[in-house]
Amino acid sequence: MNLENELDEILRAENLRIVFQPIVTLTTTRLLGHEALMRSPSSCRPSSPADLIRAAREGNRLIELESLALRRATAEFARQKVGGRLFLNLSPRGLTSLYERRTLTREHLRGIGLVPNQIVIELTEQAPIVDYDSMRETLRYFRQLGVSFALDDVGAGYSGLRHLNELHPEYVKIDRHFVAELGHDSRKRGLVELFHGAAHRLSCTVIAEGVETLEELATLRELGIEHAQGFLLALPESQCRNGVEMKDLGGDIQRGAAPDSAGSIMRAVEPVPERMPAVETADRFDRDNSVCALPLVDDQRRPVGVITRNGLQGRLSLAYGRALSQRKAVAAFADAPLVVPLNQTLESLSRRITESPHLVGDEIFVVVDDNGQYAGIGTVIDLLRRMTDLRVEAARHSNPLSGLPGNVPIDRAVTSYIRDGVDFVLAHFDIDEFKSYNDRYGYAAGDDLLRFLADAVRWGVDSDLDFAGHVGGDDFVVVFRSDDWEARCRQILDTFARNAPAFYDQADRDRGGLLGRTRRGQEVFHPLVSLSIGAVPAPAGRFAVHHELAHVASEVKTVAKKLPGCSLQVDRRGTRREADDRVAGRAG
């Protein structure tokens, strides 16, 4: 059946399938509503919505198709009784026709169990609006009913900023082109900020479309975007949701993935059951040209293989290939997957891939959560791009003496962990008596001592979990996520205590420090340098902002510096250890 005949059959039988994709409020992860999307019925050749719309436009039947989609979507949404808003796609011509025929009325909606303020009509920006006066009159009529409007695909079509100014939509949806790879594309970031700023000034709510990676999601949150939809958050399904469970992502959004982890670059591609027929999988590739590989999962959503577009189509294109494979499960054509933990660092992932004899499809790996369940797929090109961005960023903001990240990446890491509810420990390192050492031996020797401490910190942390930084001078910071952080701190203290005396000459070592004089000429003794660490556990929810945590860490470090020799002072307030101490009668 060709596309024209398929469209004719759909319209004749009114046999159009509707699926709903949730729109999530990023600050609370609650649902704003659902967007209704049309799909071909399972009895037809599975054409893409874009193909159906193009065929309807060419056959002058677009209004007929949109009218059918609207009826089916409103009826199905009302039947499911999930609440929230229903976003409906309409072309400017389709909306005008709706207005002229007064099809969408308060009585009609009441009859199917909806109220007008649940309806949001999305006007696509990919069709021109010629007569703004007429369109404003149409919008005025529907707004009097209680219907709201969204401007769809902003940035992808005609006169987006003029549409904003002329029509004053309640919602603005940023096209997925600008969301894709937003985290490392400064031009896209600038345009999204432009759209967001313009919408904010006009009192419009912004929705980002096509969110597929945790990196994109984190960047949208950083830019203050209020709402989003996309495969990462939830797939389009026939059944509406009452909420979006964060575990659906294969990794809790609220806990997040580290910005340098495999989870930050994965794409949320809907997996394929291992028993799905090969021809149905091939049809899915045909429907979505953007997908180059599909993960195969078992009944527990554990990855068991990867099927690539070229590999499957190559097998099915052989003589009698499609006929012979009609009943074969797609697993028969799959490659073994390279399985990667969600929080594996990009550095260690890069080493693993380099050492691997081959990679599925030469570029695909599968990401799993802590339970071994499928979370998403990643590509080598995304890995290389992200690592390049991270290294450029690190070089820009690293301390020139130690080579460790400076204030900007430290603040960014701590802020992201607080925002995403990640449990961590902030440890502040400071050298005691560093000024007296610097004054006696000179800045070059002082720099050598600082580089030694930087190396001790590097050696002491878990490079796959912890984040070490150099604030400046003799102040260092480690953001620990390793469970044995306290033992690592004591190891760094021990390394410093054993090696620091070697930076003095023999006489000062024998004396145990430096003799000096105050400005008034009084003799004073400065002991050998030591290291103080103030550590603050930051379980999820304890601190609201980075500055609050930094203030507590500074206080705890000050207490540590008052203790003799190398010392570790841990702030136990607000932690499980504090509660245990109180129960045992040990808390002071």
State the Cα–Cα distance between residues 557 and 9, nearest whole angstrom. Answer: 74
533, 456: one domain: yes
What parts of the chain have a pLDDT lower than 70?
Answer: 1-2, 27-29, 42-48, 125-127, 155-160, 243-259, 288-290, 313-327, 355-362, 393-395, 397, 574-588
96, 233: one domain: yes
The domain in which residue 428 lies consists of 398-583
State the Cα–Cα distance between residues 114 and 331, nearest whole angstrom. Answer: 44
In a domain, 100, yes or no: yes
421, 505: one domain: yes
How do beta strands 523-527 and 339-341 pair? unpaired
471, 414: one domain: yes
358, 427: one domain: no
pLDDT reported for residue 503: 95
11, 105: one domain: yes
Write the CA distances from 398 to 61, 384, 390, 391, 394, integer angstroms: 60, 20, 11, 10, 6
In a domain, 263, yes or no: no
State the Cα–Cα distance between residues 250 and 372, nearest whole angstrom. Answer: 9
Strand partners, 227: 25, 207
235, 211: one domain: yes
CB-side exposure of 7: number of CA atoms within 13 Å? 22
In a domain, 391, yes or no: no
63, 86: one domain: yes
CB 180, CB 212: distance < 8 Å? yes
Domain end, chosen from 386, 411, 443, is at 386
Provide CB contacts within 8 A for 533, sequence distance 6+: 427, 428, 429, 430, 489, 492, 493, 557, 560, 567, 568, 569
Return the H-helix or E-strand segment holding 78.
Answer: helix 62-80
Domain end, chosen from 244, 263, 292, is at 244
In a domain, 253, yes or no: no
333, 282: one domain: yes
Q: Per residue in 473-483, pLDDT tens?
A: 999 999 999 99
pLDDT reported for residue 119: 92
In a domain, 505, yes or no: yes
In a domain, 254, yes or no: no
Sheet holding 567-570, edge to edge: 467-472, 475-480, 424-432, 530-538, 567-570
The terminus-to-terminus CA distance of the chain in angstroms comes to: 80
User: Could you give the 3-state DSSP secondary structure of residue 535?
Assistant: strand
Return the H-helix or E-strand segment holding 562.
Answer: none
Q: Which two tokens stand for residue 178?
A: 């600008």
In a domain, 55, yes or no: yes
Q: Which two tokens stand for residue 128?
A: 């021109």
Write the CATH number for 423.
3.30.70.270
Main-chain dihedrals φ then ψ at residue 17, nearest 5 degrees: -90, 140
In a domain, 267, yes or no: no
State the Cα–Cα distance between residues 359 and 23, nearest whole angstrom. Answer: 35
pLDDT reported for residue 579: 37
Overall domain count for the chain: 3
290, 220: one domain: no
Residue environment code for 408-417, b if the CB has 16+ CB neighbours within 10 A, otherwise e:
ebbbbbbebb
Write the CATH number for 294.
3.10.580.10
State the Cα–Cα distance between residues 33 and 21, nearest whole angstrom. Answer: 8
CB 217, CB 224: distance < 8 Å? no
Q: Which two tokens stand for residue 29?
A: 């992860």
CA angle 205, 207, 213 (to 5 degrees): 150
Strand partners, 514: 526
Q: What is the dihedral of CA 156, 159, 165, 166, to 10 degrees?
A: -120
Write the CATH number for 161.
3.20.20.450
Main-chain dihedrals φ then ψ at residue 391, nearest 5 degrees: -70, -40
179, 108: one domain: yes
Domain end, chosen from 365, 386, 407, is at 386
564, 435: one domain: yes
Main-chain dihedrals φ then ψ at residue 148, nearest 5 degrees: -105, 170
CB 66, CB 103: distance < 8 Å? no
pLDDT reported for residue 431: 95
